[in-house]
Amino acid sequence: MALSQKTKETLLGPLNANNPVVVQVLGICSALAVTVQLKPALVMGVAVTIIVAMSNVIISLLRNTIPMRIRIIVQLVVVAALVTLVSEVLKAFAYDVAMQLSVYIGLIITNCILMGRLEAFAMTNKPWDSFLDGLGSGLGYAWILIAVAFVRELFGAGTLLGFRIIPESWYVANGGFYENCGMMMMPAMALILVGCIIWAHRSLNKEEK
């Protein structure tokens, strides 16, 4: 399927030039909270992508009927319903995952990216475009999360997805020379890493603009 220029921009824009985290600076709060390890970051990325895409479609379908004065409330109801639905389904069919993620699933409701996309895009665009926009924004958010979590888990705990990467024998405790960077475990480090990504991103994109 060939994508038109506009479709491509809608879908791929948020991955780089219009990234929700590093350009729009949305969803920073959860980017700090869930990036200590790679696994929750991955699942959070997937969950947010699904929920942004779905709520974008629903709001886009309803966009001409929603009364302007309560549009935020309607958006919130749709998002909250979807998040509750996902959480209930997880509890019934993947209890272990639900237990690990309970707090993050709930946190999706307050993720600024959702409200941002609903308000800025879905309210004025057709369902298919909104779906692509949601997908793109979700993925744009996910890759930043994964990049930050990758660095934090690798240097903070010496593992990736729970598998040991830095050998045990390197550690000072075992007579080696290496020690985990405790700073990586602190939320502040996520902010610093996001800052570094924004810095790199801006210097790379300067010429294009």
Looking at the Cβ atoms of 10 and 35, the one nearer to other proteins is 35
Binding site for other proteins (CB under 8 A): 33-34, 36-37, 40, 64-70, 73-74, 77-78, 81, 84-85, 88-89, 91-93, 95, 99-100, 102-103, 153, 156-157, 182, 185-186
Nearest distance, CB of residue 93 and other proteins, angstroms: 8
State the alpha helices, DSSP H only, in the chain.
5-12, 28-33, 38-62, 71-93, 95-107, 112-117, 127-157, 187-205
The values of phi and psi at residue 164, to 5°, are -75, 125
Quickly count: other Cβ atoms within 10 Å of residue 24's Cβ. 18
Nearest distance, CB of residue 4 and other proteins, angstroms: 31
Nearest distance, CB of residue 134 and other proteins, angstroms: 19
CA distances from 208 to 20, 89, 125, 203 (A): 18, 44, 27, 10
Nearest distance, CB of residue 136 and other proteins, angstroms: 27
Looking at the Cβ atoms of 1 and 92, the one nearer to other proteins is 92
Looking at the Cβ atoms of 17 and 66, the one nearer to other proteins is 66
Looking at the Cβ atoms of 29 and 77, the one nearer to other proteins is 77
Q: Which two tokens stand for residue 186?
A: 């602190």
- 3 state SS for 121-179: HHCCCCHHHHHHHHHHHHHHHHHHHHHHHHHHHHHHHCEECCEECCCHHHEHHHCCCEC
Looking at the Cβ atoms of 34 and 142, the one nearer to other proteins is 34
Nearest distance, CB of residue 189 and other proteins, angstroms: 12
Q: Which two tokens stand for residue 79?
A: 């998002």
Nearest distance, CB of residue 95 and other proteins, angstroms: 4
Looking at the Cβ atoms of 94 and 204, the one nearer to other proteins is 94
CA distances from 24 to 113, 120, 206 (A): 9, 12, 16
